[in-house]
Structure 1
Amino acid sequence: MTTVKVTSGTRDRLATLAREAGQSTGSFLADVANGLPTEAELDARDERVRRRLVALGHQHLTPDARSEGEAMWAALDAGDDQALVKAAATA
């Protein structure tokens, strides 16, 4: 265990959010941190999308904005090639 220094307002808000979720503050923070991808994880997801689209014949796609890639990531993770191609066409 360690201590994280935050303002008392932030501490209180985190405690409220954790309580509402039925968790301790530590467990809540762990879930939040584990649910947010790192830049390296986002880069790896981008590359998986690009590789799959190339395999499907869509070499022209190079999504620059990660927000545009959300539908593509979801389709890739679901194994839904039709949704992936459709999302690529609208990006």
Structure 2
Amino acid sequence: NGIRSVDWLAQSPDLNKIEPLWDYLKDSLEEYRFKGQSQATKDEVKGALVLEWEEIPMDLINRHCLDLPNKLQLVIKNKGDNNFHG
């Protein structure tokens, strides 16, 4: 299929491109005022999650994905250590 796979460390959240999107989503949900833990509230949270997920700007997704090669080069440069701010 032309897609090359690579081994990936399980504990590398800074290299996981979904993490910044979760942060963005969490920040987007702060405007909502969910109350309680009823099924209705859970359904409201799910609905808000779907709505906000669909509103994540594509340029934000692209920016994080396109930055991955740079992050990987930093890991290589640091001999596997991904404890950096880059």
TM-score using structure 1 length: 0.26
Q: Which has the higher contact order (CA 8 A, sep 6+)?
A: 2
Higher helix residue share:
1
